[in-house]
Structure 1
Amino acid sequence: MSKYSLEAFVNETKENPQQKDYFELETPHLLEINLNNQAVWTKRGSMVGYVGGINFERQGMLAGGIGNLLKKAISGEGTKLMKAEGSGRLYVADSGKKVRILYLNNESVCVNGNDVLAHEQSVKSDITMLKSIAGMMAGGLFQVKLSGTGHIAITTHGEPLTLMVTPDNPVFTDPNATVAWSGNLSPDLKTNVSFKSLIGRGSGEEFQMKFSGNGWVLIQPYEEVYFTEK
């Protein structure tokens, strides 16, 4: 059999039937969620395929998942979730970004809203905005705090790097390259330029996130720019 034959291609790329965990990485960029009469929240538009009896429901403006009406109105596309419920195998992905599965054990983690791919229904989610004019102008600078017990899946552009935060060594990051941080940290947004110089700019080194205390911050080798839906 030729290594370029259709049979060889199918054998190389087909799913692994031995994988039965709730959340599984089918490939580094593709998450498989095995549902057994369960429900899960996924980023809207992330479904690329499914097998079995799975129903999808758009999140209502005031229903479960992330946030309330006001938060949804100002927080951009990264907050919109889809509820998937039933039994079968669900495949989700986000623009070819790398997927990382985390299991929370009565813990919390904060994630950039655009980098949340999926989470179990048992995991509580809540949005907080960075309350500064620079943060609002950057677009997409809102955080989702995921807490409780259960699986979550986050995405990064390329291989991420974790920076440790200590009281003696605060960490400064580019907001658009910041993916996640430990749930006990509350970042400040710092800027050393005037408001006038920020007008018309969507990203860049004009301002940074400052993390102080004890914890960690996850960054990616890419500055992701977000656009709020009209």
Structure 2
Amino acid sequence: MNNIYDEGGIDIARYSLDEFVRTTGQKDLGQGKFELERDRMLEVNLNGRVWIKRGGMVAYLGDVKFTREGMLEHGIGKLMKKAVTGEGVSLTKAEGNGKVYLADGGKKISILHLNNESIYVNGNDLLAFEESITWDIKMMKKVAGMMAGGLFNVKLEGTGMIAITTHYDPLTLMVTNDRPVFTDPNATVAWSGNLQPDIKTDISLKTFVGRSSGESVQMAFRGEGFVVIQPYEEIPYVVPQA
């Protein structure tokens, strides 16, 4: 690869075709069913079935079938919750043998392995999970009426891999009994399954910047666990009704 500089002195990477293919080509890393092919590209080594975010597939190799989740695929309870909430958890089954490549708007991807554990994830930020993981939609009832549409998250539990996404690099904050953590709901990505956050309303911020301010409503985490945030306020996505 040759070093070529633009007018501002910035190094521009230019490749021959062979160099480009060699540098950017897919590599088998031997990390398991979920691999980070790039920090914004997930490779699923498929041999069976996984659940992926609808619209997350960007390419695949092999004999793979994609099926949108059926109305009663996960039971009547989840169907009713999705109908009421419009929660942004719309899934597709990927089945077969091959490799599936997933991405979500250039967001950064993190792979987590649950070992008989549980975690809450913002519905917008859930990219994929193994079939061995069970999930359910959870609503924070205390926030109803404070934020448009309320606040809904997905609880995942069991043993297996999940992939979550963040705008830029995630930051994990530890929650202890003597040090609670307060976060902006739109910047909150995930938290440990043992935590049950409350909603805190900051009256002074309401007074100062107006009642529509997102910062006037905060999630309050108390106990022992962790919370994952991102340096970005993500607007909740509502699944279009079919």
Confirm or deny a common fold (TM above 0.5). yes
SS at match of 2:147: helix
Alignment correspondent of 1:156: 166
Q: Distance between the aligned counterparts of 1:133 and 1:107, measured in 2?
A: 26
Counterpart residue type for residue 15 of structure 2: Y
Of structures 1 and 2, the larger Rg is shown by: 2
Query: What corresponds to 2:55 in structure 1?
Result: 45
Partners of 1:135 and 1:85 in 2: how far apart? 40
Cα drift, residue 11 of structure 1 = 1.0
In structure 2, do the counterparts of structure 1 residues 189 and 135 end up closer, same or farther at CA, with 3 Å as the change threshold? farther
Assess, with a 3 A threshold, how the Cα gap between structure 1 residues 77 and 68 changes in structure 2: closer, same or farther: closer
Which TM-score applies when normalising by structure 2?
0.85
CA distance in 1 between partners of 2:18 and 2:158 (Å): 44
Equivalent position of 1:171 in the other structure: 181
Residue in 2 aligned with 1:118?
A: 128
Determine helix, strand or coil for the equivalent of 1:83.
strand
TM-score where L is the length of structure 1: 0.90
**Partner residue, 2:202:** 192
Say which is worse superposed, 14-23 or 151-160, in terms of deviation: 14-23
Distance 1:213 1:95 in 2: 34
Distance 1:174 1:114 in 2: 15
- 1:205 partner amino acid: E
Is residue 90 from structure 1 mapped to residue 100 from structure 2 by the alignment? Answer: yes
1:7 paired with 2:15, answer no
Amino acid at match of 2:218: Q
Runs of 5+ consecutive residues of structure 1 not aligned to the other structure: none
Residue 97 to residue 65, structure 1, CA distance change in 2 (3 Å)? farther
Moved over 6 A (4+): none
One-letter identity of the residue aligned with 1:212? R
Which of these residues, 1, 13, 27, is aligned with residue 16 of structure 1? 27
Question: Retained in 2: the 8 A contact 1:42–1:82?
Answer: yes
2:78·2:136 contact (CA, 8 Å) conserved in 1?
Answer: no
Percent identity over paired residues:
61
Whichever residue aligns with residue 99 of structure 1, its letter is I
Structure 1 residues 67 and 114 mapped into 2: Cα distance closer, same or farther (>3 Å)? Answer: farther
1:76 CA displacement:
3.2
1:54 aligns with 2:59: no
Looking at structure 2, the residues matched to 10 and 66 of structure 1 have their Cα atoms a distance apart, in angstroms, of 48
